[in-house]
Amino acid sequence: MSPWQTHSALPPTTCALRVALRAEVGGARLAAAPVTPADLADLVSETWRDCVLRQGRPALPLDHLDFSVTPRFADSGRERCHHLAVEVTLPGGERRSRLFSIHSLAPAARRLSQTLVGQGLLAEGQSYCFEVLADPEAAAVHSQPGDVWRVSVRRAPLNYLLVPLAELCNRARLLGADPGAAPPVFYTRKALRRAEDCARQGAGENPPVESGGVLLGVLAACPRTGEMATIVTDVLELHDAEKAARSLACSGPTWDRVQTIMRARQQAYPIRAERLCGQCHGHNFLPHDEAACLHCEKQATCALTSVFVSAADEAWMRSVFVRQPWALCHIFGFSARREPAQTLFTLNDGRWQGRGFHLLEDFDPDQWPFQQASENP
């Protein structure tokens, strides 16, 4: 069975949701394209994370759940969507939902824009705006909007540790912006130093290239609150990767080495629940924007940096950490003044958004009880 199966009564040629592009607000629609199940993967994963894993149900695997996606309309015309509601049904019938903006489908719009560039309808790099539409034909077929998309998933049960997160927060220091409602993330000091070393290693080459590593850590469920956190404890450098000024690609030997090390560690310490939990890399180039830099000397700080999640970064995270909503993308770079900059990104509203994290002096996984999700919770 494939990891994803969609269950829909729609004819194969009919799609419930579409993205439509305009060259400018109020302009004519240039084209529209269907929203695919793959476009909804991050939304479904994020709903599982926030409505299940972080609500005291870490032992509930994805394959015990059904998801539906319902459009929320911006006007009485019931075509243009304002939000998408992703609802998960738990065993026993309880339903929980997560609301997403249409910006969560930006990758689908970007894919359509690339098609239009190839057709000469958009210029390379030209800005555009998009909207999400509910297909009228699909609405006529389905009396319940929730019937439009249904997804069933098969994945291995989660391994995690039981850790009182309040104790970790009390001995940790917040770095960066307040993460707000985002899931807690902790780094040990050693792991953070290692991540930055791997990411900035390419800055010393001539010319500078991107470099990086994969993040190792554990998932921790709080027995008191039900919250779930990611704790980064180590980093493996990406040796033999294909490095360029603005790209970093893992070769076959790169992944062979990572997988060999992970298998050895997991076999040696099976109850540490250690896993790959993300990646770090360096954008070891300077941002360039002449207009923004004209009055640089008048600014107290430089807000222009090379720290951002590129389309290539999004694609890499989606392919390597597919349906792992705890995955981390940590990017190191520089400001236009050559000052070091960094941001940790996690999924929020179906997009990779920057947030802060907590720094621990150390973390001993052997100190905490090991748990594995039951096949029949």
Q: Count CA atoms closer than 13 A to 253's CA, side-chain side.
A: 4
pLDDT digits (tens, 9 = 90+) for 263-309: 999 999 999 999 999 999 999 998 875 555 656 666 677 778 999 99
CATH topology classification for 159-372 = Cytidine Deaminase; domain 2 (3.40.140)
Per-residue pLDDT tens over the stretch 67-91? 989 888 876 667 889 999 999 999 8
Residue limits of CATH 3.40.140.10 in the chain? 159-372
Q: Are 185 and 230 in contact (CB under 8 A)?
A: yes
> Which amino acid does the sequence have at 271?
I
* Residue of 316, 325, 357 whose CA lies nearest to 219: 325
Whole-number Å distance between alpha carbons of 69 and 31: 23
Per-residue pLDDT tens digits for 112-155: 999 999 999 999 989 999 999 987 555 433 333 344 445 444 55
Q: How far apart are CA 161 and CA 73, in angstroms?
A: 41
pTM: 0.88
Q: Which two tokens stand for residue 357?
A: 């994290």
pLDDT of 155 reads 56
User: Is the CB of residue 49 less than 8 Å from the CB of residue 325?
Assistant: yes
Q: Percent of the chain having pLDDT more than 70?
A: 85
Task: Name beta bridge partners: 17.
Answer: 134
